[in-house]
C-alpha cells in the first residue's frame, strides 16, 4: 500500500503544479500582451496537445519500465516549465514550451495508470482508480484557487519555478518509493508458450 501512497502523492503534486502553471501562464501572457485572445490561445496549448499526442505517446508506458517512464517525463517537464519562467521569452516560445510540457504529461499519466494493477491487486484497484480520479478533479478546482493565490503572492515567474520544482519532487518520490519492474514487453516475452 505504501507504493500507492507514493504514486498518489506524485500525482497530486504534479496536478497541483500543472494548475499553478496554467494560472501563472495566463496571467503572464495577459500582462505581456494585454490580449484576451492570446491568453486564451496560450491556455488552449495546455490542453489541445493531449488530445493529439495521447494516442501516440501513451504507448511508451508499454514499451519501457513504467517507473522509469514516470521519472523520465517528470524530469523532461522540469526544464520546460523552468524555461517558461525566463522573463524575456517570446510568446511563441511559451506556446512551444507549454505544448512540450503538456505532451510530456501523457506518458507519465499512462505509465501511472498502467502501473496501478501491479501496485493495487484485486479489489483495491477500483478504489485506487477512484482516488486518482477524485484527486484529478479536486486538483483542478483547488489548483486554480491556490494557483491564483500563489501567483498573487509570488509572481508568475516564481510560480512557474515552483511548478518546475513539483516535477522534481514527483520524480524523487517515484524514484524512492516505487518498486522497479521490468518493461511490460519484456514480461510478455519471458512468459512460457502455452
CATH code for position 166:
1.20.1250.20
% the chain with pLDDT above 70: 94
- Summarize pLDDT for 117-143 with one digit per residue, the tens: 999 888 888 888 888 888 888 887 887
Is 127 part of any domain? yes
Helices (H) and strands (E) in the chain, counts: 8, 0
Q: What is the pLDDT of residues 30-39, one digit of tens each?
A: 888 889 998 8
Specify the pLDDT at position 44: 79
> 188: pLDDT confidence band, cut at 50, 70 and 90?
very low
Tell me whether residue 21 is in a domain: yes
pLDDT of residue 83: 95
| 186 pLDDT tier (thresholds 50, 70, 90) | low
The count of domains in the chain is 1
Q: Is residue 186 part of a domain?
A: no
Q: Residue 191: what pLDDT?
A: 45
Give me the torsion for CA of 145, 146, 152, 155, rounded to 10°.
-130
Q: What is the dihedral of CA 50, 101, 78, 69, to 10 degrees?
A: 40
Question: Cα-atom radius of gyration of the chain, to the nearest Å?
Answer: 18
Which value, to the nearest 10 degrees, does the dihedral of the CA atoms of residues 139, 141, 142, 145 take? 140
Is 84 within a domain? yes
46's grid cell: 495546455
The verdict on residue 181 lying in a domain is: no
What is the spatial distance between Cα 134 and Cα 153, in angstroms, rounded to a whole number? 27
d(CA 44, CA 145): 19
Residue 187 lies in a domain: no
Q: Is residue 191 part of a domain?
A: no
Average pLDDT score over the chain: 84
Domain holding 103, by residue range, is 2-173
Please enumerate in sequence order all residues whose Cβ is within 8 A of that of 41, keeping only pairs 6 or more positions apart, or say none. 95
Whether 192 is in a domain gets the answer: no
Amino acid at each position: 500500500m505504501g507504493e500507492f501512497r507514493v504514486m498518489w502523492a506524485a500525482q497530486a503534486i504534479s496536478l497541483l503544479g500543472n494548475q499553478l502553471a496554467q494560472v501563472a501562464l495566463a496571467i503572464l501572457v495577459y500582462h505581456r500582451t494585454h490580449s484576451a485572445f492570446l491568453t486564451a490561445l496560450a491556455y488552449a496549448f495546455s490542453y489541445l496537445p493531449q488530445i493529439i499526442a495521447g494516442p501516440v505517446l501513451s504507448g511508451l508506458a508499454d514499451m519501457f519500465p513504467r517507473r522509469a517512464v514516470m521519472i523520465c517525463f517528470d524530469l523532461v517537464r522540469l526544464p520546460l516549465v523552468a524555461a517558461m519562467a525566463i522573463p524575456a521569452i517570446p510568446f511563441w516560445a511559451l506556446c512551444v514550451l507549454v505544448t512540450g510540457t503538456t505532451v510530456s504529461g501523457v506518458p507519465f499519466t499512462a505509465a501511472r495508470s498502467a502501473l496501478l494493477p501491479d501496485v493495487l491487486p484485486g479489489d483495491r484497484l477500483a478504489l485506487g482508480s477512484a482516488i486518482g480520479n477524485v484527486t484529478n478533479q479536486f486538483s483542478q478546482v483547488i489548483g486554480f484557487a491556490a494557483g491564483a493565490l500563489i501567483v498573487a503572492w509570488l509572481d508568475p515567474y516564481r510560480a512557474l519555478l515552483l511548478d518546475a520544482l513539483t516535477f522534481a519532487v514527483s520524480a524523487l518520490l517515484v524514484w524512492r518509493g516505487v518498486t522497479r519492474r521490468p518493461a511490460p514487453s519484456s514480461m510478455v516475452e519471458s512468459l512460457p508458450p502455452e
